[in-house]
Amino acid sequence: MMYFEGKKYNVVTYGCQMNVHESEKISGILQDLGMTLVNEPELADVVVFNTCCIREGAEDRAFSNIAALKKCKAKNPDMIIAVCGCMPQQKQGKYDLKKKLPFVDIVIGTHNVNMLGAYLTRVVDTKKRVYEVVDTPIDLSENKTTIRDDKINAYVNIIYGCNKFCTYCIVPHVRGRERSRPYEDIKAEVKDLVSKGYRYITLLGQNVNSYGKDLNNGMTFASLLTKLCQIEGEFKLKFMTSHPIDFNKDIIKVMKREPKVAKCLHLPVQSGNSDVLFRMNRHYNIRHYNKLIKATKRGVKNVSLSTDIIVGFPGESEKAFEDTVKLLKKVKYDQVFAFMYSKRTGKPASILPNQIDESVKNKRLNKLLREQKFISKQMLNDCVGKTYNCLVVVHNGVTMGLTDGGREIYLPNDSNALENHFVDIKVEGIRNHKLSGVIKCQKSHQ
């Protein structure tokens, strides 16, 4: 539509990688309409808020930032504001977006975001608001323009939705049931990205290990990974998020065997206490989780581990919390993403007895983060003497290797000829709390 030609847009994103990637597709839709990106929402003709409702804080932040645009809209009545993503999709959200934000032009959910272009045109044509939240996905095809933010890493969706229904979580309610993307589509997208020079391809899904279950063609996540490794070129595959109930030995085998699979694993545990895990409806106990970690460490040399933790889940005793701290000490994660439990209206955990005070949650979160900081410091020493296959990057004239887990290893500056290639780097020491190393030999995965 000619109307949008030359106009300016901005997209404000909250939430997980899934949303970050969705915003890249939203940018694609807007650029296809002829618009260009500006850095400030205040300067834009079209502003899209891609929202998250995983915790109350995420909702509050989005709501107040949208509300703050009211003044801009008053000055520039032609400004079009759209709100999409997980917040409008929920049935019992904290805010009634339709009533509380009357100046917002478009409110849509997660299932119809790829129709955003049509909704924008409709607003211009009819001068009426669009409020459309639907229960089932419309049009799963993904062959649209995507404006990617990162030059090294590219996200690729492999599965949408979640079937797990953890008792605290809103995701299955706002993203629907699991739907695997056809293999041929995924392969074509990965091939295209590799040919464009992306070195890391991150396969995305709320539970990537469930890939294929709904396709009924025998494909599994392990076989998907194996097949994608056949694609020619210098690249590595990452994936997130894994679930301890579906992550298995077959996947560990592929991680061990295939040089093109990054040696890192994000495996959210949520709690180190089996009673809490039961109330969370996670379907595994801590013994099972520990077994998986042990098998991964044994199978995948120098693997980098990360996890998500919720502190202060209803009924979490001091002892149960300490079990989580113990787990962190035992596993030694490279990264821990920890959150205070946030009540989501209508979710089973919100009516469990023994809800924990905010002050206690806060205390536990701080203690956990303090412990992890200490562990991370110690782990730096563990890296010395080890060899990692790294991507060589040059930032502001400084040359370093990036491990699959995202650690930086400083290199002698004459290594910059190898920029943008994978090489083996041996860590030799620590300088100013940073690792330093030397290149062992060049190894590319052609």
181 or 243, CB closer to ligand SAH? 243
Applying CB under 6 A, which of residues 173, 263, 344, 364 lies at the interface with ligand SAH? 344
- Using CB under 6 A as the criterion, which residues of the chain lie in contact with ligand SF4 when the complex forms? 162, 164-166, 169, 171-172, 206-207, 243
As measured in angstroms, the least distance from the Cβ of 9 to ligand F3S is 20
Going from the C-alpha of 324 to that of each of 167, 203, 280, 296, 362, the distances in angstroms are 19, 28, 14, 20, 15
Q: What is the DSSP string of 160-223?
A: E------TT--HHHHH-S-EEPPHHHHHHHHHHHHHTT-SEEEEE-TTGGGTTTTT-SS--HHH
As measured in angstroms, the least distance from the Cβ of 16 to ligand SAH is 6
d(CA 201, CA 426) in angstroms, rounded, equals 24
* Residue position matching structure tokens 């030609």: 5
As measured in angstroms, the least distance from the Cβ of 425 to ligand F3S is 34
Q: Which partner from the list ligand SF4, ligand F3S, ligand SAH, none does 344 bind, CB cut-off 5 to 8 Å by kind? A: ligand SAH
As measured in angstroms, the least distance from the Cβ of 135 to ligand SAH is 21
Pair of tokens at residue 379: 């782990």
Residue 226: cis peptide before it, omega within 30 degrees of 0: no
**Is 273 near ligand SAH (CB under 6 A)?**
no
d(CA 140, CA 185) in angstroms, rounded, equals 11
**Is 339 near ligand SAH (CB under 6 A)?**
yes
**Is 304 near ligand SAH (CB under 6 A)?**
no
Phi, psi of 292 (to 5 degrees): -60, -45
As measured in angstroms, the least distance from the Cβ of 245 to ligand SAH is 10
d(CA 444, CA 422) in angstroms, rounded, equals 6
d(CA 193, CA 415) in angstroms, rounded, equals 26
Closest of 190, 123, 179, 184 to residue 154, by C-alpha: 190
What b/e string do you get for 23-48 counting C-beta neighbours within 10 Å, with b at 16 or more? bbbbbbbbbebebeeeeebeebbbbb
Q: Which partner from the list ligand SAH, ligand F3S, ligand SF4, none does 33 bind, CB cut-off 5 to 8 Å by kind? A: none
Q: Which partner from the list ligand SAH, ligand SF4, ligand F3S, none does 18 bind, CB cut-off 5 to 8 Å by kind? A: ligand F3S
* Residues 154-193 interacting with ligand SAH (rule: CB under 6 A): 168-169, 171
d(CA 245, CA 288) in angstroms, rounded, equals 9
55 or 263, CB closer to ligand SF4? 55
Q: Please write down the HEC assignment for all residues of 21-45.
A: HHHHHHHHHHHHCCCEECCCHHHCC
**Is 236 near ligand SAH (CB under 6 A)?**
no
**Is 310 near ligand SAH (CB under 6 A)?**
yes
Task: Bin 370: left if φ > 0, else alpha if -120 < ψ < 50, else beta.
Answer: alpha
Q: Which partner from the list ligand F3S, ligand SAH, ligand SF4, none does 310 bind, CB cut-off 5 to 8 Å by kind? A: ligand SAH
Nearest residue relative to ligand F3S (C-beta): 15
Applying CB under 6 A, which of residues 55, 173, 260, 407 lies at the interface with ligand SAH? 55
As measured in angstroms, the least distance from the Cβ of 67 to ligand F3S is 19
Q: Which partner from the list ligand F3S, ligand SF4, ligand SAH, none does 339 bind, CB cut-off 5 to 8 Å by kind? A: ligand SAH
d(CA 351, CA 257) in angstroms, rounded, equals 46
As measured in angstroms, the least distance from the Cβ of 101 to ligand SF4 is 27
16 or 265, CB closer to ligand F3S? 16
Closest of 126, 120, 144, 108 to residue 3, by C-alpha: 120
- What does the binding site for ligand SAH look like in residue numbers (CB under 6 A)? 16, 54-55, 168-169, 171, 206-207, 241, 243, 268, 270, 308, 310, 339, 341-342, 344
